[in-house]
Amino acid sequence: MDFKVKKIDEWRYLIPKKGAMRVPGLVFSSSELMANIEDDQSLLQVVNVATLPGIVKHSLAMPDIHWGYGFPIGGVAAFRMEDGIVSPGGVGYDINCGVRLITTALVASEVRPRIKELVLALFKNIPAGVGSRGRIRLSTKEQRNVAAEGASWAVKKGMGTEEDLERTEDQGVIREADPGAVSERAYKRGHDELGTLGSGNHFLEIQTVDEIYDQDRARAFNLFEGQLTVLIHTGSRGFGHQICDDFLKEMGTKVKEAGFDLPDRQLACAYVTSDTGKRYLSAMACAANYAWANRQIIMHWTRDTFEKILAMGPNELKMELLYDVCHNIAKLEQHVVDKKKVTLCVHRKGATRSLPPGHPDVPMVYRKAGQPVLIPGDMGTYSFVLAGSQQAMKETFGSTCHGAGRMLSRKQAIKTAKGRAIHRELEDKGIYVQSRGRTTLKEEMPEAYKDISLVVEAVHMAGLAKKVARLRPLGVIKG
C-alpha cells in the first residue's frame, strides 16, 4: 500500500490526505483489530472513497471494516448535495440489511427446555435459505404498495402494531420512494420473497440478556438480566440486489460522460442531484421499504409461533419491538460541518445510525436515553445493545459499527471448517441451530468473524456508542 496509517490515539487511526484524496481517511479501531485490518484491501478502499467528488470531512471506517464492493463494509462517507455523489457500492447489494430486536416478559432459564421446539417451529414457519420463497405472493401492483409504504403495509394487513412502526428507524418507511424507478426484473425477483430470511449471515436468534452494562438505559430499553429476546437479521433479498445491480450497470456506463476519474470501477456513481442519482435514491428507498416490511412480517410470524408453542397470549409474552435499525443505506440528512448545518448524502455500508439523546429522529420513548444501537453477532457469538452518542454526531455523522466484520472469506471459512460438524460444536455450547444446509454453517462459523467484543469495545471507548447490554444465543435458524 502506498499510503501510511498514523495512530492518533488508542481508538483512532488517520490516513493522511495524499494524491487524489480529497479528504483524509479516519479509522476507528484498536491495535489488536488493526493487525487484521491491514492484511486485506479495505484500507485501500477507504483511500479510494476519499477521492470521490463532494466528500466531506473524512472517509470513515468502523472497527468491523472488511473488504467490500467498491466501498469497504464498515465504511461511512458523506457527500455535499451541490457537487457530491451517490454510489450503489456505498450502500451495498443488500439494501437495508438490518436487525430488529424483540423483548419479552419471559425468563430464559424457564424457556430453555423448549428452545429446540421453538427453533424447529420457527424454522418451519419462516422460510430461509438461498432462493427461499415466502408464504406471501404479491402482484406487481401490491409490490409497488410495499415499496411505497414499507413496514406500514404489513401493519395494515394485520401483521403488527402502530407501536412497532414508532420503534422502527424512520417509522419503517422512506417516503421519497418511487416505485416507478424500479425495474420489472427487480419486481419479478421480489414477488415471492417477502417474509423470508434468505441466506448468508442472515438469521433469527433466540437469545438471553447475558450482561447489563448500563442499568438506567437498560430499563429505558425494557431489558433485564436473564430475559429472553429474539433478534431478526435480514434485508431486501433479491429485490434490493437487483436494484443495486441495475444502477451499478447504468452508472458504470455514464461515469466517463460525467467526468469522474475513478480509481476503481466498482465506485460507479452519479451526482446526487442528477437524474440518475435521484432515480437511484428513489429506487433504493423502495428496497429499504421492502426490507422493513420483510422484517415486520417475520416478527409477526415469530410472535405467532411463540404464542402457539408456549400456549401463551400476547399479554403474557409481551413480545415488543425494542428497535429496528438498517445497516446498508444512503440518506439525505442534516449535519453540522464547519459550524454550519447542511444537508448531506450519508452512505452507511455495514454501519448503523447512532443518534444521541434528544435527537428528533429518536423515538420519544427513547429520547432521553438515546437511539438503541443493535450490533448482531453470528450463531456462536454475542450480540450487543448500545445507545447512540453525541460524539458520533461530531465525528461520524451519527454512525457506528454494525457487527463483528468478516475475517475469512466464505471460501476460506469452508476450507477451515473441513471435517468439522459446526452444528454439533454449537450444540456443545448450548446453542441449537437449524439451517437449510451445512455449507452455510461452515461459511458463517464463529471463527470467520472478528471478536465482536473487541469491535464493540472500540466503538464504546471511542465514544461512538455506549454499551448497554450483551445478548447470548440459545437457538438459531439460518438459511
Which residues are catalytically annotated?
402
Q: Closest Cα partner for 463 from 71, 3, 11, 1?
A: 11
Contacts of 187 (CB under 8 A, 6+ apart): 140, 143, 144, 239
**Nearest-angstrom CA–CA distance, 200 and 64:** 17
**What is the Cα–Cα distance from 88 to 250, expressed in whole angstroms?**
11
Find residue 279's DSSP bridge partners: none
Handedness of CA 120, 126, 131, 137 (dihedral sign): positive
| Amino acid identity for residue 101 in this structure | L
DSSP 386-444: EEE-HHHHHHSSSEEE-S--BSS-HHHHHHHTTT--HHHHHHHTT-EEEES-HHHHHHT
Q: Enter the C-alpha cell of residue 115.
A: 428452545
CB 135 within 8 A of CB 127: yes
- Measured over all CA atoms, what is the biggest interatomic distance in the chain, rounded to whole angstroms? 65
Q: Are 405 and 64 in contact (CB under 8 A)?
A: yes
- Write out the DSSP string of 258-311: HT---SSGGG--EETTSHHHHHHHHHHHHHHHHHHHHHHHHHHHHHHHHHHHHT
N-to-C CA span, the chain: 37
Quote the distance between the C-alpha of residue 248 and its chain's center. Answer: 21
β-pairing, 432-435 vs 465-478, is parallel
Q: Report CA-CA distances (Å) from 52 to 22, 58, 59, 83, 245.
A: 7, 11, 10, 10, 20
d(CA 19, CA 5): 15
The dihedral over CA atoms of 342, 56, 458, 476, expressed in degrees to the nearest 10, equals: 80
Nearest to 415 by CA among 443, 449, 451: 443
Rounded to the nearest 10 degrees, what angle do helices 140-149 and 275-310 cross at?
90
